[in-house]
């Protein structure tokens, strides 16, 4: 867990705001965001990626995040399966990113590929391996992998 100053700096850097352009209002908003995220590096990273790719300004994040978080309250209040627990902010930002991805034309396909890729070595996934094994995977994945345009559009959303 970061100190507040470090957390704000991480958000600023990952959101790609130059320090000279980081005005007091943005710094105040960044302070509120990192507080809400519990000063956790992964949650801050996810939030900054979401802001950078999906929103126009840093000021749009908190209202969206808080609405999304409230709608998932029951899911996130489950008892953890292990004794190691993490604050809900990481799960919230990940689920928010998935929601945003699903709004894209190929979002559903990207999420389906993500489920497949979660079982593979992300850095060394061989496309020919995936294509050669489509006969042994479920029909939805077979359809996504077989259609080159759909496959590459969905894969691009995952990057």
Domain hosting 134: range is 104-159
Interval 135-149 mean pLDDT? 78
pLDDT at 74: 42
- pLDDT tens-place string over residues 85-113: 455 666 777 777 778 887 888 888 887 77
HEC sequence for 98-133 = HHHHHCCCCHHHHHHHHHHHCCCCHHHCCHHHHHHC
Structural domains of the chain, count: 2
Q: What pTM, to 2 d.p., does this model score?
A: 0.52
pLDDT at 121: 64
- Residues 73, 1 share a domain: yes
- Residues 155, 109 share a domain: yes
Q: 7: alpha, beta or left, given left = phi > 0 and alpha = psi -120 to 50? A: alpha
- Residues 73, 144 share a domain: no
Interval 68-78 mean pLDDT? 51
- Residues 75, 138 share a domain: no
Rounded-to-integer distance, Cα 125 and Cα 59, Å: 37
- Residues 112, 69 share a domain: no
- 135, exposed or middle or buried, with CB in 10 Å at 0-12, 13-18, 19+? exposed
Last residue of a domain, one of 74, 101, 128: 101
Last residue of a domain, one of 101, 117, 134: 101
Interval 28-33 mean pLDDT? 94
């Amino acid at each position: 867990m970061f100190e507040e100053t470090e957390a704000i700096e991480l958000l600023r850097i990952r959101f790609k705001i130059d320090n000279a352009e980081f005005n007091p209002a943005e710094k105040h908003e960044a302070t509120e965001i990192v507080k809400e995220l519990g000063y956790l590096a992964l949650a801050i990273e996810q939030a900054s990626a979401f802001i950078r790719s999906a929103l126009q300004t840093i000021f749009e994040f908190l209202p969206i995040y808080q609405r999304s978080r409230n709608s998932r309250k029951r899911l996130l209040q489950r008892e953890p399966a292990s004794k190691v627990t993490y604050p809900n902010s990481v799960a919230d930002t990940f689920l928010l990113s998935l929601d945003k991805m699903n709004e894209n034309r190929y979002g559903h396909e990207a999420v389906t590929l993500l489920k497949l890729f979660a079982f593979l070595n992300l850095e060394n996934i061989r496309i020919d391996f995936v294509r050669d094994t489509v006969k042994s995977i479920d029909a939805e994945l077979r359809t996504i992998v077989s259609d080159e345009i759909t496959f590459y559009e969905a894969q691009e959303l995952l990057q």
